[in-house]
Structure 1
Amino acid sequence: MLTINAPREHQPTLWAEDFIFLEGPRWHNDRLWVSDVFDKKLFTLHPDGSRTLECEVPHRPSGIGFLRDGSAIVASMQDRKIMRLLDAELSVHADFSELASGDLNDMLVDDEGRIYVGNFGYDFHGGAPKALTNVHMVEPDGAIRVAASGLEFPNGMAIISGGRTLVVAETWACRLTAFNRAPDGSLSKPRLFADLGNRQPDGICADTADGIWVASYNTGEVIRVLEGGDVTDRALCGRHVSACQLGGSDGRTLFCCAYVGTDEDLEAGKRLGAIFTVSVDTPGCSVAPKDVSHGSGEG
């Protein structure tokens, strides 16, 4: 069970606002990449908070990653495809339209360029009953296979323990689940990493001490959790928190994507999405693969 052990409290600072609903933040090449799901846009934000529109994603963007050539990829939720961004144009990198049982969601790219991506598992927006689903893996050569099955709304993912463990947030189950990870990226031996009580984990990220920062959507918190459930740190960022990412010049800035309005405000499309920052002690792990592009840039 989740251990309550007087976590260190942090005061977040508003960094950027005037979005609708943000997901998938990734720190890459001194910028924060982020998806505005319902505005259907992919942005980058510079350290001063100024933003650049990278592209529009008509079927709603979510998870973000980077290939070994440096190009950006983004999960296109509704049409269940991973899109590659190159020269301001999107092209299909991987097609899950016949494989995923729900909208694509968050994703993670490992050091070798393998992509892990989850999906809702059912027609969430259409009111279908909840169903278990898979996390798929896309090999660098484009082959797709099931990496893990029987997951309840798999969401954010993180790799820890020197690459030997992958942790996935199961939102409706209020838990983090860990898998052993083989050198070829295969996952096995699922186990409970942390029971989060009533907290619904959305996006997550890892630090270099194998702590997992969790965006708790329903409680508006970002918490740092260790394996076994100890909560070491906490920040309250708004009504809902959808994702978090460690970055900045020294990796010690936690970027928190939040929605500060009500559910009714979100349904109405009110631009109450924001990014808060928290200064932390332990830097984040890299979320980009080893670059073999010899300086080709990220697209």
Structure 2
Amino acid sequence: MSDLSFLEGPRWHDGRIWVSDFYTHRVYSAAEDGSDRRVEAEVPQQPSGLGWLPDGRLLVVSMRDARLLRRESDGRLVCHADLSPYVGGHLNDLVVDDHGRAFVGDFGFDLMGGAPTRPTNLLRVDPDGTVTKAAEDVLFPNGSVITDDGTLLVCETMGNRVTAFDIAAGGTLTNRRTWAAFGEPPTEQEIEKALSQVVVAADGCCLDSDGALWIADATGNRAIRVRRGGEIVDEIRPGTGVFACMLGGADGRTLYLCTAPDFHEDARTAAREAVLRSVRVRAAHAGRP
């Protein structure tokens, strides 16, 4: 798929690839090969993370007004939860567990405005819309997965790491630990200096059947396959920036890559250079999403 602005939140659902396009303000779905493109939702305040409740209703992050929206059976978008009191920057990605609880992150600071970096919270939104701080002091929580044994893995884009939590009964996060480390957390707070200290800017991610994570390295122009501990065992370089990824296709072995020349808002708003690419891989999709 091409002629798009900036893609995030790819998901394989009901035999189709779904993706958010920031600056056309649309959620799209398409057939496995990118044909039969459909507009699934229009989100004026910029869509990002996608997930589904157990009854099949779509959840979509509305970034700029920090709301989680829910698509009803008639297609209407309604407010599932207002997260604005809890965030320090744009709302971002999410993962939904099998109970319908959404774990949602935000930037934590004004990324596009060049504000200093700072930690933020990982939030949990229960099926009734109740918002709870699930974890504090997270460095730009981004792509997240839930393993089949109930472990939540969260990419900390500005933290040089992937952090793991056990999901206890009721959705409480426990046993916080580092699942993969790529370097020390940055000591600088000025954004350009901080990014220079980031070895892997872990953005979107997905889990495979061997227990490895495919991670989009937002500053490295690549998707990497990472084992527990941080060993990089494979990489894909499409010749442009990679900002999210998801395994899907009929056999779960098609890796979709959200690509664009960069992540700068002014440039991406003015152009239609984002492309959803795919590559065949050996290990199939696992976990959620």
TM-score by length of 2: 0.89
Q: What is residue 232 of structure 1 aligned with on the other side? A: 233
Distance in 1 between residues matched to 2:57 and 2:265, nearest whole Å: 37
Aligned-pair CA distance for 1:209: 2.3
TM-aligned CA distance change 1:239 to 1:189, over 3 Å: same
Structure with the greater relative contact order (CA < 8 A, sep ≥ 6): 1 or 2?
Answer: 1
Q: Secondary structure at the match of 1:281?
A: coil
Q: What is residue 16 of structure 2 aligned with on the other side? A: 31
Matches within 5 A, 1:101-116: 101-116=88-103
Q: Which residue of 153, 156, 162 maps to 2:149?
A: 162
| Preserved CA contact (<8 Å) 1:260 1:274 | no
Aligned-pair CA distance for 1:46: 1.0
Distance in 2 between residues matched to 1:263 and 1:92, nearest whole Å: 28
Q: What is residue 247 of structure 1 aligned with on the other side? A: 248
Distance in 2 between residues matched to 1:184 and 1:254, nearest whole Å: 32
Distance in 2 between residues matched to 1:260 and 1:282, nearest whole Å: 28
TM-aligned CA distance change 1:218 to 1:268, over 3 Å: same
| Preserved CA contact (<8 Å) 1:23 1:63 | yes
- Which one-letter code corresponds to 1:62 in the other structure? S
| Preserved CA contact (<8 Å) 1:218 1:240 | yes
Distance in 1 between residues matched to 2:138 and 2:205, nearest whole Å: 16
**In percent, how many aligned pairs have the same letter?**
43
Structure 2, unaligned runs of 5 or more? 184-198
- Which one-letter code corresponds to 1:25 in the other structure? P
Aligned-pair CA distance for 1:267: 4.6
| Preserved CA contact (<8 Å) 2:148 2:287 | no
Q: What is residue 207 of structure 2 aligned with on the other side? A: 206
Q: What is residue 167 of structure 2 aligned with on the other side? A: 181
Larger helix share, 1 or 2: 2
Distance in 2 between residues matched to 1:192 and 1:146, nearest whole Å: 19
TM-aligned CA distance change 1:152 to 1:248, over 3 Å: same
Q: What is residue 105 of structure 2 aligned with on the other side? A: 118
Structure 1, unaligned runs of 5 or more? 1-15, 289-299
| Preserved CA contact (<8 Å) 2:256 2:276 | yes
Q: What is residue 130 of structure 1 aligned with on the other side? A: 117
Is 1:19 matched up with 2:4?
A: yes
Distance in 1 between residues matched to 2:13 and 2:178, nearest whole Å: 30
Is 1:259 matched up with 2:260?
A: yes
Q: Secondary structure at the match of 2:84?
A: coil
TM-aligned CA distance change 1:91 to 1:263, over 3 Å: closer
Q: 1:213-254: CA deviations, max 9, x gaps?
A: 100011111111111112222111232111001111011111
Distance in 2 between residues matched to 1:31 and 1:128, nearest whole Å: 37
Q: 1:120-147: CA deviations, max 9, x gaps?
A: 1122233322111001111123222111
Matches within 5 A, 1:29-68: 29-50=14-35, 51-68=37-54
- Which one-letter code corresponds to 1:249 in the other structure? A
Is 1:75 matched up with 2:61?
A: yes
| Preserved CA contact (<8 Å) 2:88 2:106 | yes
Aligned-pair CA distance for 1:179: 1.5
Q: Which residue of 175, 179, 182 maps to 1:196?
A: 182
CA RMSD of aligned residues (A): 1.8
TM-score by length of 1: 0.86
TM-aligned CA distance change 1:203 to 1:264, over 3 Å: closer
Q: 1:262-292: CA deviations, max 9, x gaps?
A: 859835521110111121121112436xxxx
Q: Structure 1 residues 263-272 or 112-121, which shifts more?
A: 263-272
- Which one-letter code corresponds to 2:16 in the other structure? R
Q: Which residue of 132, 155, 158 maps to 1:172?
A: 158
TM-aligned CA distance change 1:61 to 1:175, over 3 Å: same
| Preserved CA contact (<8 Å) 2:109 2:118 | yes
Q: What is residue 92 of structure 1 aligned with on the other side? A: 79
- Which one-letter code corresponds to 2:253 in the other structure? R
